[in-house]
Amino acid sequence: MTKRLHNKYALITGGTAGIGLETAKQFQLEGATIAVTGRNETGLVDAQALLGNQALVLKSDACNVEQQAELAQRLMDEFPKLDIVYINAGDVTHKPLEDWDETSFDQVMNTNLKGPFFLIQSLLPLLSDSASIILCGSVSAQIGLAQSSVYAASKAGLISLARTLSGELKERGIRVNSISPGPTQTDAFNKFGLSKEKRETLIEEVKALVPLKRMGSPWELAQAAVFMASDESAYMLGSELLIDGGVGNL
């Protein structure tokens, strides 16, 4: 039986941890040749060990426009084409309105919207004529969650790009769609600097917000990404796929 991503070349940004790393594993299992990016040196080393030498593991900061052009050039040197682009790298900073300053605002917007825009621009010469570009949005763009203002706005902009860039690239056969996760159980909860007790309390509070009363798993999000990357989703264009436990609809 032919694997769903057989002979396809894929890039996953933010692919060294969490949803991105699980997606990279699933893409490989479905036959894709993959490249992943990350910023953390330890994460890069660990991802290379997990994904094997057949994977291209590259250091790249999604918020830096110059590095997006450098990433595209490296891929042009390594890959004959690019069939799948999964823009997964993101900054999930949440804080009260009064705590934001211009620097922190720009950091989120550059990582979640500006960097991805210019990465796609830089990758245009490498994209195959049936390429699938998947943008990782967020259910936060659909709801009014307190303290998510800048993050949610950046993701709303990214979801909008799935529509507008689809209109621009459809004549080339390039599809752009978005996947919007709801709360997902990843090691991101370990990065908030909370004690174990407070972290567990936060996780239970987040679960309570989800109609299904649980968080999603990286595997569930990765399976959605495989579908979006494969020819099975060939009739989807400019669409948003909510994988959120009902948060955005109920």
* DSSP annotation of 182: -
Q: Please state the separation of Cα 146 from the chain's center in Å.
A: 23
d(CA 237, CA 162): 8
Task: For residue 91, give both structure tokens.
Answer: 């900054």
Alpha helices in 87-132 (DSSP H): 102-109, 115-123
**Contact between 133 and 175 (Cβ < 8 Å):** yes
What count of other Cβ atoms lies within 10 Å of the Cβ of residue 41? Answer: 10
Task: For residue 153, give both structure tokens.
Answer: 């706005």
151 tagged catalytic = yes
* DSSP annotation of 186: S
d(CA 113, CA 91): 10
Residue showing tokens 């989120």: 108
Of 33, 204, 42, which is closest to residue 128 (Cα–Cα)?
Answer: 33
185 in helix, strand or coil? coil
The residues that are catalytic are 151
